[in-house]
Amino acid sequence: MHTQRHPQDTFPGSCPFHGDCLEGLASGPAIGARTGRSSKDLGPDHDLTVEIEAWYLAQLVSTVVYVLSPQRIVMGGGVMKIAGLRAAVCAKTIERLGGALDGTGLPDTMDRYLPAPALGDLSGVLGAIALAEGVASRAPRSRV
């Protein structure tokens, strides 16, 4: 997904295909290339990194909200472990939505709408297993 660049972000992006797509600007490798630091230890780059990441991730969340209207969006992984990032993404998403969804209850419940993964680092793999089990249970059984 191509994104609008953060005004303070001069990093060209780490994606070899698009440069300034979401993956090229907001992924863990992009943070590392932009700051020269791991997302686990941003040091003096922490606050600006949170601002920039929230800017990009809020674009993703607001796009998903408008296009798919899901009941919940769960974002995990190493980047989302950056202190203060989830709260910043919530705030920036509300700002980006600009009141367009007022009356739906969404802006009032953004931290429930965009929760931390309840299963931590196991969320992705356990979610994949749950989806596979659901598909398998609905598949017609062949008679031999």
Write down the pLDDT at residue 142. Answer: 66
Write down the pLDDT at residue 111. Answer: 80
* Cβ–Cβ under 8 Å, residues 79 and 27: yes
Write down the pLDDT at residue 89. Answer: 96
Residues in the chain with pLDDT values less than 50? none
> What is residue 93's three-state secondary structure?
helix
Over residues 2-37, the pLDDT tens digits come to 999 999 999 999 999 988 899 999 999 999 999 999
Classify domain 22-117 at the CATH superfamily level. Answer: ATPase, nucleotide binding domain (3.30.420.40)
Write down the pLDDT at residue 31. Answer: 95
Write down the pLDDT at residue 139. Answer: 73
Write down the pLDDT at residue 143. Answer: 66
Q: Is the pTM of this model over 0.95?
A: no
> What is residue 19's three-state secondary structure?
strand
Write down the pLDDT at residue 116. Answer: 87
* Cβ–Cβ under 8 Å, residues 3 and 25: yes
Write down the pLDDT at residue 144. Answer: 61
Write down the pLDDT at residue 128. Answer: 85
